[in-house]
Structure 1
Amino acid sequence: MNPSRTTASHASSVTMTTRPAAVADKLTKVYGQGETRVVALDGVSVEFRRGEFTAIMGPSGSGKSTLMHCMAGLDAISGGSARIGDLELTGLSDKQLTRLRRDRIGFVFQAFNLLPTLTAAENITLPLTIAGRRPDKAWLDEVIAAVGLADRLEHRPAQLSGGQQQRVAVARALAGRPEIIFADEPTGNLDSRSGAEVLGFLRDSVRELGQTVAMVTHDPVAASYADRVVFLADGHVVDELREPTAATVLDRMKRLDTGDRAG
């Protein structure tokens, strides 16, 4: 796959004119009451454009994972709006949220969350099987080729390395052609080489397969694979960086740690 930024820039210029894959509008999340009340998100507004790879970063406790969980329908929001495509998440029943997560969202977590008794192929198609949907074979073949798993499909998770297991998880997230993939520290349990491979697959899924990815990470190197980085601090969006490098991301993070949010 060609990792050139020319392709990414072209894709971004096309997708910026279309309806966003997901939108947070003045999103608020509050935990607890009284003296234990914590405002995790305080009026956060951010768009996740189609065909774009967004990294979400911030100091510990900044609200980055909370934002992802609220946008993915994993956690109820306290105020404001969260949408996947045109669908407003507030007011959806548990059953409707389950259907949304199953049919329109892909997930990649730090823990691979593979079923040990299933083969790689069965793990990849599991969400489709549960939904009663037949895989699009041509798309599935493209996804499997993209993540380099063609010779590992009959292996069970215990027979795969950590990097291979996470590639299975990425393929599983892609298999249903979701509107957006949420990835929460997807390389946290991997060595640097395996992590780079997984990040490359996520990046290429955007540039060459047209996916949309939002990734929570604390790693400037991981964030450098994205098209843009959104920075949170104390439950607020405080900065954004396009075409990031590890160095520019690290510089912005240092500013946040020292309380300097300008620029």
Structure 2
Amino acid sequence: MRQESLSVTTSTHSETPSAPSVPSGAAAARARDLTKVYGQGETRVVALDSVSVEFRRGQFTAIMGPSGSGKSTLMHCMAGLDSISSGSAWIGDTELSALKEKKLTRLRRDKIGFIFQAFNLLPTLNALENITLPMDIAGRKPDREWLDRVVETVGLAGRLKHRPNQLSGGQQQRVAVARALAARPEIIFGDEPTGNLDSRAGAEVLGFLRNSVRELGQTVVMVTHDPVAASYADRVVFLADGRIVDDMADPTAESVLDRMKAFDARGRTS
């Protein structure tokens, strides 16, 4: 299935702009001693406990962990969707806690792409209009060459005039992926982006995300509970009880599953 998903998108791009060069090891986003606390007193919950992590440019990272481990909270804090209690979070060279709401909103719009389980497409707009909607709202014109390349990479060239109800779930999520890529953000965050898709459609979307990293120079950080989804990434960061407990390079579905089983066994004996 994984090979099939790749065959959909492999193509040459001799007439389109090359992927941007990416300095090795440069951080698209990073956190230092990031802590997130909800509630007070007896209801106090430490969702993130002094987390320090970097997400390098041009890399596909998966965040995994048991339910309640803090993986979605980490993504939301680093994407500026939730406030932090202490520590710091950065997008590129910009510290999020230093920004007032208006500038934070502008940063999310201009430098961050989002992909979620719910496709969040407007039913009255066709695929192309949904893809360019954030830029239209911001009063910016899309880079036509880049947009064409994104559309080709996610395999939507023949579906741009279709409305969401004329597209399959996998095609709708491709539109959401293209929308996130279209503005060339510094980083894309995905929260279970294939959670509402069947295995074949999910494999296709994961292949498109991986190709966006390898062919377009994009940076992707994805929260997932699925070892197969995590195997598409270059790196997996594991969380448990609000802390990073492991970091794996070049994951396979089997190695990720083994690591998760080890965490479960450790939790039962602790």
Q: 1:185 aligns with which of 186, 189, 192?
A: 192
Query: What amino acid sits opposite 1:73 in the alignment?
Result: G
Query: What amino acid sits opposite 1:155 in the alignment?
Result: H
1:258 counterpart SS class: helix
Q: Distance in 2 between matches of 1:64 and 1:134?
A: 34
Question: What residue number does 1:89 align with?
Answer: 96
CA RMSD of aligned residues (A): 1.5
Report deviation, 1:256.
1.1
Question: What residue number does 1:117 align with?
Answer: 124
Matches within 5 A, 1:89-168: 89-168=96-175
Report deviation, 1:110.
0.4
Report deviation, 1:2.
5.2
The CA deviation string for residues 169-210 of structure 1, in whole angstroms up to 9 with x for no partner, is: 000000000000000000000000000000000000000100
2:260 counterpart SS class: helix
Query: What amino acid sits opposite 2:72 in the alignment?
Result: S
Question: What residue number does 1:6 align with?
Answer: none
Q: Distance in 1 between matches of 2:163 and 2:177?
A: 16
Matched, 1:24 2:31: yes
Say whether the 8 Å CA contact 1:28–1:41 is kept in structure 2: yes
Question: What residue number does 1:202 align with?
Answer: 209
Query: What amino acid sits opposite 1:70 in the alignment?
Result: C
Question: What residue number does 2:4 align with?
Answer: none
Report deviation, 1:15.
3.9
Report deviation, 1:230.
0.2
Matched, 1:253 2:244: no
Q: Distance in 1 between matches of 2:45 and 2:119?
A: 30
Query: What amino acid sits opposite 1:20 in the alignment?
Result: A
Q: Distance in 1 between matches of 2:125 and 2:101?
A: 27
Report deviation, 1:16.
3.0
Task: Return structure 1 stretches of 4+ with deviation > 2 angstroms.
Answer: 14-17
Say whether the 8 Å CA contact 1:124–1:171 is kept in structure 2: yes
Q: TM-score, normalised by structure 1?
A: 0.93
Structure 1: where are the runs of 5+ without partners?
A: 4-10
Matched, 1:227 2:234: yes
Query: What amino acid sits opposite 1:95 in the alignment?
Result: K
Q: Distance in 1 between matches of 2:98 and 2:35?
A: 15
Give % identity.
78
Query: What amino acid sits opposite 1:201 in the alignment?
Result: F
Q: Distance in 2 between matches of 1:117 and 1:91?
A: 38
1:259 counterpart SS class: helix
Q: 2:247 aligns with which of 227, 231, 240?
A: 240
Structure 2: where are the runs of 5+ without partners?
A: 1-8, 12-18
The CA deviation string for residues 33-80 of structure 1, in whole angstroms up to 9 with x for no partner, is: 111000000000110000000000000000000000000000000000
1:21 counterpart SS class: strand
Question: What residue number does 2:63 align with?
Answer: 56
Q: Distance in 1 between matches of 2:233 and 2:53?
A: 16
Report deviation, 1:154.
0.6
Say whether the 8 Å CA contact 1:108–1:182 is kept in structure 2: yes
Query: What amino acid sits opposite 1:228 in the alignment?
Result: R
Q: Distance in 1 between matches of 2:142 and 2:36?
A: 36
Q: Distance in 2 between matches of 1:27 and 1:259?
A: 25
Matched, 1:39 2:46: yes
2:98 counterpart SS class: coil
Report deviation, 1:96.
1.2
Q: Distance in 1 between matches of 2:153 and 2:175?
A: 11
Matched, 1:212 2:219: yes
Report deviation, 1:258.
1.6
1:141 counterpart SS class: helix
Say whether the 8 Å CA contact 1:72–1:105 is kept in structure 2: yes
Q: Distance in 2 between matches of 1:77 and 1:241?
A: 26
Q: 2:79 aligns with which of 55, 59, 72?
A: 72
